[in-house]
Structure 1
């Protein structure tokens, strides 16, 4: 019998996840890596999953159609936090354990959210582009100590954003279904209603999970509640924002700007009309792409696979 195989669909694995890869190899696993630099399609997975025992999963889709083709699969270890691409209930029916890297990427994502806020308010991409085109544009903007930043969701990432905003002097408000009043007090954040975040914020930063209840949480109606000077930031999940409604709001200057790291479909169509707008900033789902996060997630995902398949114990962050 040959070595058990681990399919790694997360990208840059050999280059950045050397410690995690070594853990798997030292425990006798053969590693099959993603060489595409993007998520696998179903057709690509079909030819790979027949004899795999475990997956270090990126954002490819893992559902019943794939599980039926993978009789040896026992564990999917998500290289990240969000698991909306994995049908967890069906995985359980097929006897597949699913884990994630809860909390590991929080600092990386919070830094990216901050970068998108600053880039939006200060119009960094636009001014860089117009300078390259030969225009010396005299843009004017507000300082952060005059702005209200609203956090949609107040979990670990949002709290790290709030901590990073402290020296800027912005007023901080947040909405969460399960408000953490103690953490809010420590971070000078006022917990308010969803409507208040939408109406009162100069910047809205999204940090809610992808759930049926949050699907298109940002839509034509909720955008109508926002200031026309607001900037919308999304480093959470693409399904939370109705991109058609956002496009219309940006095109008509109903809102000042938006910056997205996540999209309703990924990889995003590079002909997406949002990319035509000078008040839109887009990054290719890279908020967690740091060397530190890769190393830590590499170790965490490898250990989960070893725990399930070698040590036969319950892994951390079992979902």
Structure 2
């Protein structure tokens, strides 16, 4: 567990006779086990659960959380306008890694601590990236659709073994992805401005510039964060540098890639295929749905039961570390990354 941000106010919750409230915003929270909700109940908090079965809008967050001291957060907007209307809020605890939906500057000014669960989704997202790659190479979705349509047709695919895999971003997930591909006999190259050089040496992974990686790789898999206001890392020029036989995997953030440029490249068969689990606008209803050479999944990355439960428990413990900071049972976990 990591302290993503600590407000300077040094807030300590004083227990009152009235029950403190916590909003649980992710619509799927608790589906993999009751432990995270049980932790909150045992600690004496009233939980307000997302009633809509989807991502909350800004107005819905305000309506549900206006009296809450904490939010166990998904990807709903927690910008200045929202935070200004939540006077009781003391902690936002993300179920996941990304913080781009939270206005960290406003949170800091209000003394609201913001935490995330950086280790939680690592294995689940890495396995999904590998699974999507195998599905592309062996044309599994096409074979499945054909058989269901009454067509017995063997699809000729490609081996993953000995392919060159380019990993863009060597954070926790990127490193785990590289390890999985290495275990299957791939050559792995990577790009990252702050890579761990000891890890690179120990795993025989070459660190090269992005443009070189794009030209060399048979499979390119994206695992980098998106900075608010930044443009896409992969656009028209970058796609033109890829091999015509290349596959592109994105399980990071929709904003890191120009979807229109990718659509044109796939439609004109300038690259062989792609797989996307994340999109600029979710739920996604865009033109990529029309194409046969891309696999589209609805942000499944962290949705593996074991990993999801660990993330939810960690998010609740992060929240309790803040709200019950006087309680030795839920002491701070430190700032380790």
Q: Give TM class, smaller chain.
A: over 0.9
Structure 1 counterpart of 2:291, from 265, 268, 277: 277
More helix per residue: 1
Structure 2 counterpart of 1:33, from 44, 49, 55: 49
1:136 aligns with 2:142: no
The offset of 1:299, in angstroms, is 1.8
Distance 2:174 2:264 in 1: 27
Distance 1:214 1:152 in 2: 16
Structure 1 counterpart of 2:67, from 25, 31, 51: 51
1:75 aligns with 2:85: no
The offset of 1:212, in angstroms, is 5.0
1:61 aligns with 2:71: no
What are the ranges of 5 or more consecutive residues in structure 2 without an aligned counterpart?
Answer: 1-16
The offset of 1:315, in angstroms, is 5.7
* Aligned equivalent of 2:14: none
* Aligned equivalent of 2:7: none
What are the ranges of 5 or more consecutive residues in structure 1 without an aligned counterpart?
Answer: none
Q: Aligned Cα RMSD in Å?
A: 1.8
1:291 aligns with 2:314: no
* Aligned equivalent of 1:100: 116
Structure 2 counterpart of 1:211, from 215, 218, 227: 227
* Aligned equivalent of 1:249: 265
Deviations 1:136-160 (A, max 9, x none): 3343232122411100011211111
Deviations 1:267-304 (A, max 9, x none): 223xx110111001011111101222222122211112
Distance 1:38 1:213 in 2: 25
TM-score after normalising by structure 2? 0.89
Would the aligned equivalents of 1:149 and 1:201 in 2 still touch at CA under 8 Å? Answer: yes
The offset of 1:17, in angstroms, is 4.2
Structure 2 counterpart of 1:258, from 252, 271, 274: 274
39-48 or 277-286, larger mean C-alpha shift: 39-48
1:268 aligns with 2:284: yes
What SS does the aligned partner of 1:99 have?
strand
Would the aligned equivalents of 2:100 and 2:228 in 1 still touch at CA under 8 Å? Answer: no
The offset of 1:241, in angstroms, is 0.9
After TM superposition, where is structure 1 displaced by more than 4 Å over at least 4 residues in a row?
312-319
Structure 2 counterpart of 1:171, from 138, 162, 187: 187
Structure 1 counterpart of 2:170, from 133, 149, 154: 154
Distance 1:111 1:236 in 2: 13
TM-score after normalising by structure 1? 0.94
* Aligned equivalent of 1:300: 314
* Aligned equivalent of 1:310: 324
Q: 1:94/1:213 Cα in 2 relative to 1: closer, same or farther (>3 Å)?
A: closer
Would the aligned equivalents of 1:100 and 1:317 in 2 still touch at CA under 8 Å? Answer: no
